[in-house]
Amino acid sequence: MARGYYANQTDRTLNIGDLPTLSEGLESYRAFQWEVEIAMPPGMEGTDDTVLTLAAKQVTSIGFTSEDIIADRVNDKFYYPGKVTPEEVTITFDNLVRGQLAETLFNWMSTAYDPINGVFTPNFTQGDPTGGFKTRVKLYQLDNTMTPVKMIYLYGAYPKAWKTAEFNYGTNEFHTVELILRFDFAVQYAGTD
């Protein structure tokens, strides 16, 4: 069965008073229509809410890569999928005056490494069901009516780095806070549940 190219399926004939058929079937989601939701780990100090829905400024690409297993057979190479490595994701937030966003994100970072006491994963002790540092992060893609339609779910996410932006008198921008996350695996869902 022969399949025609999209250009051949579109009526491009221009008659006086008529408009050509446009490529509405190729409509994409907008890169600027999304929300980030972070579930704060249980038992984390200084958080009233268990889930933060934040106005993030930017989220870098989310993905993972499968390493190659190479089988050499005489003069040929054959490739098979191997171990999968998730990539780091960086989320940039505006450092808002209200809400103590920087402090909340710093407190989350402190569940992975507490710089005051020099302790790794201080909330994660043996036998403590509420302590932990890994959590879930959801990125919702929104449609043209700002309704969530797809979701990328980061399982086992934890902060690897917390950084404030440069302080500079010469710029005319809002100050930001960067959070670099590691995660166990990511899943793209069609829908929000």
Position 20 scores a pLDDT of 55
Position 131 scores a pLDDT of 59
12 has pLDDT over 70 = no
Q: Tokens 């036998």 belong to which residue?
A: 127
pLDDT in tens, 13-67: 666 766 555 555 567 778 888 899 988 877 665 555 577 777 788 999 999 999 9
The string of DSSP codes covering 41-102 is: PTT-TT-S-SEEEE-EEEE----EEEEEEEEEETTEEEEEEEEEEEPPEEEEEE--SSS-HH
Min mean pLDDT across 2-6, 64-68, 91-95, 165-169 is at: 2-6
Min mean pLDDT across 84-93, 116-125, 162-171 is at: 116-125
Number of domains the chain contains: 1
12 in any annotated domain = no
10 in any annotated domain = no
**CATH classification at residue 101:** 2.30.110
Non-local (6+) Cβ contacts of 101 within 8 A are 54, 93, 94, 95, 177
Is residue 151 within a helix (H) or strand (E), and if so which, with residue range? strand 148-164
35 in any annotated domain = yes
128 has pLDDT over 80 = no
**Mean pLDDT on 157-170:** 91
88 in any annotated domain = yes
**Mean pLDDT on 88-105:** 83
- Full domain range(s) for residue 179: 26-190
Rounded to two decimals, the pTM is: 0.77
Position 124 scores a pLDDT of 65
